[in-house]
Amino acid sequence: MKALLIAASAAALTLAAPALAHAETSVYGNIGYANIDVDPVNLGAVQGRLGVDITPNFAIEGEAAFGVADDTILGTSVELSHSFGIFVVGKAPVSESIDLFARAGFSSAEVDVGGTSGSEDGAAYGVGVQAFFTENDGVRFDYTRYDYGGDADVWAVSYVRKF
C-alpha cells in the first residue's frame, strides 16, 4: 500500500504541474502535536505537513507523523510507529489572517500492538482553521478522521510557517 501512496502522490503532483506553471504558488509547512483516538486507545504523535498553495483556495499537502505517546489496553502496549498521507485542501479565507479549510486524501499508518507490527491504509478527511499572527507565522487547529480498520479521530494543533 505504500507503493500506492507514492504512486498517488506522484500522480497528484503530475496533474498539478500545469497549474503550478501558471499560478503564483506558495509553500507552507507546519509541525505540531496530534492526539489520536482509536476507541478505547489514545495515542500521541508529532505531526508535520508540507504543502503547496496552488491558488488561494486550493492546496496539496503531504503529512508525516511519528508516535510519541503510547497506550495500554488490557495489559497490551499499543503505539504508533509512523503514518504518512497525501491530501487535497480546499481553503476559504475568512479574513486576511484567518482561513477555514477542508481536506481529503489517503493515509497509511504502521502500528505496534503487543510487539507485533501491522499497517493500515485508508481514506482520510477533515476540517480546520488556521490563523496567522504575522504575514508568515500562524497556528493551525484541525480534526481529521482516518478510515482505517477502526476509525481514528485525530485532533491536532500546530505551528504554521509560510515560505
How far apart, in whole angstroms, are the C-alpha atoms of residue 64 and residue 10?
16
Tell whether the model's pLDDT for residue 77 goes beyond 50: yes
First vs last C-alpha separation in the chain: 31
| Residue 122: predicted pLDDT | 95
Q: What is the pLDDT of residues 106-146, one digit of tens each?
A: 999 999 999 899 999 999 999 999 999 999 999 999 999 99
Alpha carbon 32 to its chain centroid, in Å, reads 11
Tell whether the model's pLDDT for residue 5 goes beyond 90: no
User: CB within 8 A of 19, min separation 6: which ones?
Assistant: 54, 55
> In terms of pLDDT, which residue wins out, 35 or 148?
35
145: domain CATH number is 2.40.160.20
Tell whether the model's pLDDT for residue 162 goes beyond 70: yes
Q: What is the pLDDT of residues 80-91, one digit of tens each?
A: 999 999 999 999
> In terms of pLDDT, which residue wins out, 22 or 116?
116
DSSP state letter for 13: H
pLDDT, mean over the chain: 88
Beta bridge mates, 93: 99
Tell whether the model's pLDDT for residue 150 goes beyond 90: no
- Domain span at residue 11 reads 2-162
Tell whether the model's pLDDT for residue 151 goes beyond 90: no
Place of cell 500545469: 18
Give the CA diameter of the chain. 56
pLDDT band at 23 (very low <50, low <70, confident <90, very high): low
How far apart, in whole angstroms, are the C-alpha atoms of residue 116 and residue 16?
39
Q: Are strands 151-162 and 137-147 parallel, antiparallel or unpaired?
A: antiparallel
Q: What's the number of domains the chain is made of?
A: 1
**Side chain identity at 120, as an amino acid letter?**
E
Tell whether the model's pLDDT for residue 28 goes beyond 70: yes
DSSP state letter for 25: -
CB-neighbour burial class of residue 116 (10 A; exposed 0-12, middle 13-18, buried 19+): exposed
User: CB within 8 A of 15, min separation 6: which ones?
Assistant: none
What average pLDDT does this structure show over 15-41? 77
